Amino acid sequence: MDDKIYRMYELLYQRFGPQHWWPGETPFEVMVGAVLTQNTNWANVEKAIGNLKERGWLSPQALHSLPLEAIAEAIRPSGYFNVKAKRLKALVDFLWEEYQGDLERMFAEDTDTLRGKLLSIPGLGPETVDSILLYAGNKLAFVVDAYTKRIFSRHGLCFEDVDYHQLQSLITESIPKDVSLYNEFHALLVKVGKEYCKKRQPLCANCPLAGL
């Protein structure tokens, strides 16, 4: 275990407090958000989800029955809307084919088994799948994203081009295996990545991790 990693979490929590992430009224909304947030910012995702809500389409039943073109038009604000519509449709079709549209039944599946199944869906990579598992399913799956890689590499804990699963293992072996902690730590890393550990011109002087 690396004490520095858990100390990161403590310092971030002391500075920022709880993040209440992932925003979403239902597990299904969280799943939709995890797909739509690829290659865009959250404000655009909120607009797309708002469109689905206004149309009464934010449910597995609705999206399963809708044509691809209708979904794409509704989620247009999220960018790459044709590609994302296909991914969303594939996820919902999977939910119906495997679990008859029942999210509780899906999340009752063993985590590793479900993770493998979700990764087989076209367009769903490890970050998206782990976001679904952790934030929608309350499963023990730590999410690694670009912020995580940037912060950890700058602190000498990994290389910039570290493999997703290598960094995930490094983190999970250094912190307690707790869903709430996984949730909070990832959200805090996103927070410090956006506000301080920027891609260009990082603001190191006032960063809560400056002392590490």
Dist. CA 143–CA 90, nearest whole Å: 21
| Residue 114: partners with Cβ closer than 8 Å, 6 or more residues away | 106, 107, 133, 137, 139
Answer whether 153's CB lies under 8 Å from 118's CB.
no
Residue 1 has pLDDT above 90, yes or no: no
Instruction: Write the CB contacts of 154 (distance below 8 Å, at least 6 apart in sequence).
Output: 197, 202
pLDDT score at 153? 96
Rounded mean pLDDT, 183-197: 97
Instruction: Return mean pLDDT, the chain.
Output: 96
The pLDDT, as a whole number, for residue 47 is 97
Q: 211 falls in which pLDDT band (50, 70, 90)?
A: confident
Kindly report, residue by residue over 19-66, the tens digit of the pLDDT: 999 989 999 999 999 999 999 999 999 999 999 999 999 999 999 999
- When pLDDT is cut at 50, 70 and 90, the band that residue 2 belongs to is low
Residue type, 73: E
Q: Span 128-146, mean pLDDT?
A: 97
Residue 148 scores a pLDDT above 90? yes
Provide, rounded to the nearest whole percent, the portion of the chain with pLDDT above 90: 96
pLDDT score at 69: 97
Residue located via tokens 């209440």: 20
Residues 6+ apart with CB under 8 A from 109: 117
69-97 pLDDT, tens digit per residue, is 999 999 999 999 999 999 999 999 999 99
